[in-house]
Amino acid sequence: MPFRAALELFPSQAALEAGEQRLRAAPQDPQLQLFMAWALRQRDMPRALALAEALEAHAATLAEPERRGLRLRLQLLRAEAALLYAQLEQLEPLLAAIRAEALALGDLGAQADAAWLAQGLAALRGDFAGEQRELLAAAAAAEQAGDTLRLLIFRAELGRSAAFQDNLKSEQDWGPLLPAELAGLPPAARAAVADFRGVLAALRADYEACIASFGAAFEAALESGQLRRAIALASNLGFNYGNMADYETALSWLQRGLELARAAGWPSLVGGCLMHVGEVLRHLGQLDAAREALQEAQQVLRPLPHGRNQAVRLNVLARIELESGRYAEALAAYEEMAALPSAAAADLRVIAGIGRARALLGLGRVAEAATGIQQTLSRARAQFNRNYEIEALWAQADIALALDPHGPAALGWYEQALAQAATLPAYRPQAALLEAASAAQAAQGRFERAYALAHEASANRQRHFSEEATRRMTGLRAQHQMERARVEHEHLRRNHELLLHLSSISQEITTELQAERIFEALERLVHTMLDAQSVAIYTLDEAAGQLVCSFGMESGQAFVDPPIALDSPNSYCARALRERREFVLGAGELADPHSEVPGTRAMLSMMFVPLRLSERMLGVMTVQSVRAAVYGEREQLILRMLCSYGAIALENARAYQRLGALQQQLMAQEKLAALGAMVAGVAHELNTPIGNSLLVASTVLAATHALAERVEQPQPMRRAELQAYLQQAGEGLAVIERSMQGAGALVSSFKQVAVDRSAEQRRRFRVAEVCEQCAQTLGVALRQAGVGLQLQLETAPQLDAYPGALGQVLVILMSNALTHAFAGRSGGTLTLELHALAGERISLSVADDGVGMSEAVRRRVFEPFFTTRFGQGGSGLGLSIAHNIVESLLGGHLSVSSAPGQGSRFTMELPLRAP
């Protein structure tokens, strides 16, 4: 299957978990490594970058354009890392190179993703026009590629970005292009669409709808691995809960976002959360704490001096200065904010305009304030943001009152502000606004309305104090619960990490197949995880009814404990085995001094844990320390898990030992059977030349006797008679010579094969010679079966290996073909092919044009005892033995390709030097 570099923009959590499972089964699969690196790029960026580094080596093995496609995707991953870590100097040239390569390859997916990252860069720089331009380019590339998921996400992002300029127009332009229902959308698309709707609602001060949309978007963002969006959503949820005066919930969301951002180490998101924390603290009147949060935000956002977060930070700082009566400092902050490119966004212009007017009013520059507030009020109304409109109307009223303290103008502006406030769901006007409106009503002689407003202000203030007290109590209770939950969570997290760590090291234990290596691995792991000066492992000897000390180590010195009877009353090892439970000593109970091993130190803390496999007891493991009370629940869990893995490994080792003995026996039988077949074949092959030689020799001998008798006769011998004898004798001797030469070659070949097989002699040899010897050995069987043999043996370097083992494999493969490939068929062809490969390797294959194999048979063909001729003389071990010889002794790889009716090909790839 060709390597694919195109990937879904944000794979779901379910897809990620499935990928993790597949990667554990095939950790070197480059396609899985690429998928995991891409899926983890926001979930776990360090691991994603590590996988990318590993993939670079694989890229060199790919052909064009797959190599370029893979490297392009890896560059996109690195570019996203540079964006998230605010490494803008690296990001810009990297994006330029990516876009050029994507264009050269015609990779529309990469073009779309590069534009998506360029949009993020423009946003960090406060370049709204660039942000929109790149998003349009991303959407166009996705649409051209037919990638509907990317297109949907990019359109939602376009609408979200445009909303900060004109939320009404944004809804009209982009709302119809997005699905009306979130249900059924993939998590990545659901997050983007819900985020867009939440921004629209927030800009209209529809906080209930805003919070519902942002909450849905947050969950979908986490599910799809969009950690960057999830952090921003948590921050926005905190900000909007603050606007609803639910400061407790606001701070909990902000803390959640801040923890995620700090863990990821992404400056723009850490700064965004901190500035919103400052805003909520300002609402709570904790101005010093708010300033501290903003100062930290300023430090974090230093690499991003022009972004939106800087503008929002300056706004919060300016509002703190206004509330502190520091109007000059507030005006300076608003002037600095207005100079930022990001402050050109419509909502920020309204916010800055209101604040600037109030700062000017505080400084007594009333005329300037009046001019500025009129433009700001028009912008707020155009934005259709009723919250901003209320703020602007309130500022307009205060400025009108300053211009004409006794005129009716201020009264009208206050009433408009209160009328707008009445249209907002779950919104209560601030007491200060009600009190200012009440004073304006009283100044105009409208005492009844003034009293009503003053009463409402008093009620709101009282309600605020009551709610604040309730929130404080709730906050303290929540803080206590959160602290308790944090401790419990930390405990669970540590246990979870411990279990993951133990699970990861389990392979180190369970893959060992020798008991001594298992004991050493367990001791090494104990010392890395526990305080232990002594480690001992006792295995059960059921026949003798005792525990045998199979491994003992104290402070680096080996020791041996005498066998322990299972009914020993003083031994905790025996008790742990008998009672099938663990013992932990050191917190009060100490071991019996008589149970100590002679020559070892006194231990103050001990654990005894059975080595148990299901209901079978295999032994006991003990770890001991010279320190008192060092073993608790966590240490007990560690040793319990290590003992579980150790028990599995010991059982595997015993099974492997039994299997190894059985396999050696079966291999010996198979070798003897193969050797017997060879002997029978060689004997049959020798019969022909020997029989021919005997026949010719007897004929020549008879002719010689006849010549001798003729010589004794008195009649002279004629020349023709002598010539006839000489001709007959010469021809006969020539036949004998040829027959004996063939027989001699066959015997020599058989002797070489027999010596190699019996001694597993290692030497340098030509593979072609071994192939020819095996062909000669099986010549009779091939002719009897009517099977032709073709040798296609290229000149290849010599092997430094075991010719006998290789010959045995060839005989097994050729015999297997004779038995199975041509069953029910008259004749066929076997082909032996030898080729030299790159990297000091050769390829040797045995192919037939026989009946072939089904896929089910092909998958199991190397399994021990698997045969399609069970009960008909087939043991099912030949190919398994051949596979083991090639994979272990010869250090190569044996594979098979086959299809029904298409024959089979067994291919060995062998190194020129065996291990």
Note the pLDDT tens digit of each residue in 78-118: 999 999 998 888 899 999 999 999 999 999 999 999 999 99
| pLDDT-above-90 percentage for the chain | 25
Q: Has residue 503 got a pLDDT over 70?
A: no
The arithmetic mean of pLDDT across residues 171-188, rounded, is 91
Peptide bond before 65: cis, by omega within 30 degrees of 0? Answer: yes
d(CA 553, CA 525): 13
pLDDT in tens, 293-338: 888 888 888 888 887 888 888 988 998 998 888 999 999 998 888 8
What integer is the mean pLDDT of 174-183? Answer: 91
Closest CA to 80 of 128, 121, 135: 121
Compute the distance between CA of residue 308 and CA of residue 480 in angstroms, rounded to an integer.
35
Angle at which helix 148-163 crosses helix 108-124, to 10 degrees, equals 20
Q: Which residues pair with residue 364 across a beta bridge?
A: none
Tell me the backbone φ, ψ of residue 914, rounded to 5 degrees.
-70, 155
Say if strands 534-541 and 616-625 run parallel, antiparallel, or are unpaired: antiparallel
Q: What is the per-residue pLDDT for 133?
A: 94
Task: Check residues 395 and 431 and name the one with the higher pLDDT.
Answer: 395
pLDDT of residue 256: 92
Helices (H), 303-430: 308-323, 327-338, 346-362, 366-383, 386-403, 409-422
Q: Which residues, in sequence order, are bridge partners of residue 834?
A: 793, 844
Taking Cα atoms as reference points, which of 331, 312, 309 lies closest to residue 321? 331
pTM for this model (two decimals) = 0.50
* 680-710 per-position pLDDT tens digit: 556 666 777 787 788 878 888 888 888 888 8
Q: What is the mean pLDDT of residues 575-579?
A: 91
Nearest alpha carbon to residue 435 among 422, 419, 412, 451: 451
Q: How far is CA 697 from CA 647, 702, 709, 723, 747, in A?
A: 73, 9, 18, 18, 21
* Residue 384 pLDDT exceeds 50: yes
What is the dihedral sign for C-alpha 41, 44, 45, 48? Answer: negative
Q: For residue 721, give both structure tokens.
A: 């008679």
Q: How confident is the model at residue 484, as a pLDDT?
A: 52
* 510-521 b/e (C-beta count within 10 Å ≥ 16 → b): bebbebeebbeb
Whether residue 759 has pLDDT greater than 50: no
pLDDT value of position 702: 83
What residues pair up with 897 in beta bridges, in sequence order? 905
372: left (phi over 0), alpha (psi -120 to 50) or beta: alpha
- 596 confidence band (pLDDT: 50, 70, 90): low
Instruction: Compute the average pLDDT of residues 855-876.
Output: 69
- The pLDDT score that the predictor gives to residue 286 is 85
The pLDDT of 185-190, averaged and rounded, is 94
Higher pLDDT, 304 or 142: 142
Read off the pLDDT of residues 42-75 as tens digits, 9 standing for 90 and up. Answer: 999 999 998 888 888 788 788 887 888 899 999 9
The predicted-structure confidence for 639-690, as pLDDT tens digits, reads as follows: 888 888 888 888 888 887 877 777 667 666 665 665 565 565 566 667 777 8
Give me 213's structure tokens: 């949309």
Q: Is the pLDDT of residue 555 over 70?
A: yes
Confidence of residue 573 (pLDDT cuts 50, 70, 90): very high
Q: How confident is the model at residue 481 (pLDDT cuts 50, 70, 90)?
A: very low
Q: Angle CA(288)–CA(292)–CA(295) in degrees, nearest 5?
A: 135
**Nearest Cα residue to 365 out of 327, 420, 412:** 327
Q: Which two tokens mark 273?
A: 């959360």
| pLDDT reported for residue 489 | 46
The pLDDT of residue 782: 83
Q: Are strands 787-793 and 828-837 parallel, antiparallel or unpaired?
A: parallel
- Sequence letter at residue 453: L
Whether the Cβ atoms of residue 136 and residue 161 lie closer than 8 Å to each other: no
Query: 164 or 149: whose pLDDT is higher?
Result: 149
Angle at 696 between CA 695 and CA 700, to 5 degrees: 120
Mean pLDDT value across residues 550-576: 89
**8-state DSSP, 913:** B
Per-residue pLDDT, 756: 45
Report the 10 Å Cβ neighbour count for 525: 21
What b-and-e string marks burial along 297-321, b requiring 16 or more CB atoms within 10 Å of the CB? bbebbeebebbbbbbbbbbbbbbbb
Q: What is the pLDDT of residue 673?
A: 60
For residue 236, the model assigns a pLDDT of 92
Are 797 and 740 in contact by the 8 Å Cβ rule? The answer is no
What does the mean pLDDT of the chain come to?
A: 83
Q: What pLDDT band is residue 758 in, cutting at 50, 70 and 90?
A: very low
Report the C-alpha gap between 431 and 418 in whole angstroms.
11
Q: Whats the size of the chain, residue-wise? A: 915
- Read off the pLDDT of each residue in 587-592 and give the average, rounded to a whole number: 52
Three-state DSSP class for residue 583: strand
| Alpha-carbon span 610 to 640, nearest angstrom | 8
Mean per-residue pLDDT, 356-363: 91
First and final CA of the chain: distance in angstroms?
Answer: 31
Tokens of 630: 């060092």
Could you give the angle at which helices 128-145 and 148-163 cross, rounded to 10 degrees? 160
Long-range contacts of 428-432 (CB under 8 A, 24+ apart): 428/245, 428/460, 428/463, 429/390, 429/456, 429/460, 430/460, 431/457, 431/458, 431/460, 431/461, 431/464, 432/457
* pLDDT more than 70, % of the chain: 86
| CA–CA gap between residue 119 and residue 228 (Å, rounded) | 14
The token pair that represents 89 in the structure block: 């100097």
Q: How far apart are CA 283 and CA 243, in angstroms?
A: 9
